[in-house]
Chains A and B, each alone.
Chain A
Amino acid sequence: MKRPDLRTLALGGALALAVVAALQPEAQAERPTYDVIAYVDITGSMSARDYVTADGKPQSRLEAVKQRLAAAAGRLPCGSRFGLGVFTERRIFLLFEPMETCRNYVAISGAIKGLDWRMGWEGDSRISAGLFRAIDATRPTGADVVFLTDGQEAPPLRTDMEQTYDGEQARGLIVGVGGTDLVPIPKFNDFGREIGFYSMEDVPQASRLGGPPKGAENLPGYNARNAPFGEMPAGEEHLTSVKEPYLRQLGQMTGLGYARLGTGDELAAAIEANARPHPHAVPIDLSPAPAAAALLALAALYGTSLVARPRRRRPLNAQGVSS
């Protein structure tokens, strides 16, 4: 038997590679997965409409968050875990503990879609207090915090008092929601029907918490008993926009990252960039490599037979029959 020619080798090689592919070789690889609990601000200012839907209709901040957070939860790598909570007043309320995202996606997205400002129990919006509580509540679960808020403190913070955070540094992300232009906040009556917008007189324009600041007696309208802070100044607290510098500052205090609310993909990428990755062993199917090589060998085998001309061998005999 002569040495096998190239075609036999190609065919034999393709067979061997196809057999290898059929045996499904696997490798173990570590993929990062993420454990997060998302806390969604459902206070009044989140009803402000400064987003637009795909078909050009105005969309409230909360609706935009619901849509994009659900998309982002679906984009996290399988094996990641996602929990959900809401924030109003100064407290958070955990709806469910983190659960695996891929298998339970329908339940997760259903729960996110079920978020409603009517779940809120109090009108105040103390972002920093809520964030600190969220960090505390999340720590025992081992997950990271994703806090979605517009940063609108209501009532406004004291300008003469420093915000301090003395808890442990945490990992995770603050997501700024809303546009940069001031927009009015819708007002609802007891039956949940919209009845217009908040006006300047409806909301406190300056903080009245704690004792009056130094030098208050020089403020206009000061009265030691009836108006220790002076009269309520004019302001823009009835309008709202995303308070990015404040949220960044809160992020620096607590160790969280900051990102503006983008599309679902961008939100998922921001979560992946800021949350702790948990290596998760996943089997990787290696069979495409030998299968692709087998396909290449076969394509070459059949392809060359089309273009190659049969080689003239030495004459076999007098009749000129050659092989």
Chain B
Amino acid sequence: MTWIGFDHPWVLLLLPLALLPLAGSPLRASATPSEALAPRDPLSSAISATLKTLGVLAIAFIVLGLAGAHRRDQQVERRGVGANIVLLIDRSSSMDSTFANRSPTGAEESKSAAARRLLTDFATRRPADRVAVAAFSTAPMLVSPMTDRHDAVRAAIAAIDRPGLAHTDVGRGLSLAFSLFDDESTETSRAIVMVSDGAAVIDRRVQDALRDASRRNPVRLYWLFLRTQGARGIYDKPPPGEPDSPQTYPERHLDIFLKSLGLPYRAFEANSAQEVSAAIKEIDQLEQRPTTYVETIPRQDLDWVFYAFASVALLLLLGAKLTERRLDETPVPLRRDGALQPRRAAS
């Protein structure tokens, strides 16, 4: 009975009232009750028992209805096609400028606004996903834990074009993202989608931690790099003679590091909102794996059902009451021996 719940369980204390019909009766009592007056009649006793039962049921149903009986909301496990995704979003202040590295105007949206719009579409298109959102800038921040509530995901994505902070601490952000997969997320369907417009040197200790995490917790990794005009890209190599260090080419070296993790990994370099859209579509197509997700069927009030049952019982009782005849209104012919003629009375 775990599926049924009561809003006001204390009302159930009134249930003993349902025992009243076993003792009392809505029918007229006789001043001279004597079973000897009428012979035993199985039909009469059956009807009598039925009337008592109807009374019991009517009262019990009304009490159950008053207690606010409802079917609890049910969690139904469904199989779908999607993924358990951690969206790891760069909230550094450079995300607030456009792809052309200008302040956003009416015609040109900022990188974060484009990411917000396209990721919202992405989340809306994929009902079978469970999504967690994390942000990183100067520090990594958990925004919303792994959830299948898409309102929550949308609210978390909606905040990504709010003003961000100064730095881009990719390493610790990734480390947070790895920790967000819970036991419920099936192992084959875990993915991290990192959206950033820059990279940074990852501390060697954080690198070790990430290697460790990726071995323990294999995921598929996507890096959506929003490249600002004039900025260095993932595939830019230093000209011969120039030092090739993570400090001067952080994007290139982050890419090399992510490849070295040994995870299924793809990097997308997007120079405009259209390219971001294309990249997100591709991720959408790649991340189609069998997942189990939980769909919640909202609670259903059952009080009206109980009231309806009670009405049926009361209707039958009222029928019985209306067929009741008083001894004095339909004089019963006496038999010659003085006994009352047996009647199929409803009592």
Contacts and interface: CB of A to CB of B under 8 A. Distances in A.
B338 interface: yes
B1 interface: no
A203 to B, nearest CB: 21
Contacts of A302: 20-21, 23-26, 55, 59
A120 B145 contact: no
Contacts of B326: 323
B91 interface: yes
Contacts of A312: 31
Interface residues of A, number: 67
Q: Name, among B20, B55, B166, the residue most crowded by chain A CB atoms within 10 Å (CB to CB).
A: B20
A119 B141 contact: yes
Contact of B23 (A97, A110, A306): A306
Interface stretch (B152-160, B217-225, B233-241): B152-160
Interface string A279-319: 00000010110011011001101111110111111001001
Interface in A101-131: 103-104, 106-108, 110-111, 114, 116, 118-122
Contact of A99 (B155, B164, B315): B155
B268 to A, nearest CB: 25
A86 B91 CA distance: 14
B35 interface: no
A107 B147 contact: yes
B129 interface: no
A111 B145 contact: yes
B65 interface: yes
B152 A11 contact: no
A106 B151 contact: no
Interface stretch (B80-88, B276-284, B302-310): B302-310
Contacts of B21: 302
A301 B321 CA distance: 12
A7 interface: yes
Contacts of B137: 93, 121
Interface stretch (A13-21, A28-36, A48-56, A257-265): A13-21
A93 B93 CA distance: 11
A323 B58 contact: no
B29 A292 contact: no
B142 interface: yes
B4 interface: no
B314 interface: yes
A24 B304 contact: yes
Contacts of B156: 95-96, 107, 111
B74 interface: no
A93 B141 contact: yes
A104 B135 CA distance: 19
A111 B139 contact: no
B60 to A, nearest CB: 10
Contacts of A299: 17, 20, 59
A106 B327 contact: no
Interface in B112-148: 133, 135, 137-145, 147
B243 to A, nearest CB: 27
A11 B135 contact: no
Contact of A107 (B149, B307, B338): B149
Contacts of A107: 144-145, 147, 149, 152, 156
A134 B274 CA distance: 34
A302 B62 CA distance: 15
Given A14-B58, A22-B307, A114-B145, A104 B151 contact: yes
B141 A86 contact: yes
B58 A18 contact: yes
A18 B311 contact: yes
B38 interface: no
Given A18-B58, A22-B308, A323-B326, A83 B138 contact: no
Contact of A111 (B142, B314, B322, B327): B142
Nearest to B310: A18
Given A298-B58, A310-B31, A323-B326, A18 B307 contact: yes
A96 B141 CA distance: 11
A18 B54 CA distance: 14
B317 interface: yes
Given A99-B152, A121-B139, A291 B66 contact: yes
Nearest to A191: B205
B159 A94 contact: yes
Contacts of B260: none
A322 B28 CA distance: 12
B177 to A, nearest CB: 13
Given A103-B151, A310-B31, A323-B328, A118 B139 contact: yes
Given A322-B32, A323-B31, 9 more contacts: A94-B162, A99-B152, A285-B303, A291-B66, A302-B20, A303-B20, A316-B327, A319-B334, A323-B329
22 contacts: A8-B318, A12-B318, A15-B314, A18-B58, A18-B307, A24-B304, A96-B133, A97-B155, A98-B155, A104-B147, A111-B145, A119-B140, A287-B307, A288-B66, A295-B63, A298-B58, A302-B20, A310-B28, A319-B334, A322-B31, A323-B28, A323-B30
Interface of B: 14, 17, 20-21, 23-32, 55, 58-59, 62-63, 65-66, 91, 133, 135, 137-145, 147, 149, 151-152, 154-156, 158-159, 162-167, 301, 303-304, 307-308, 310-311, 314-315, 317-318, 321-322, 326-329, 334, 338, 340
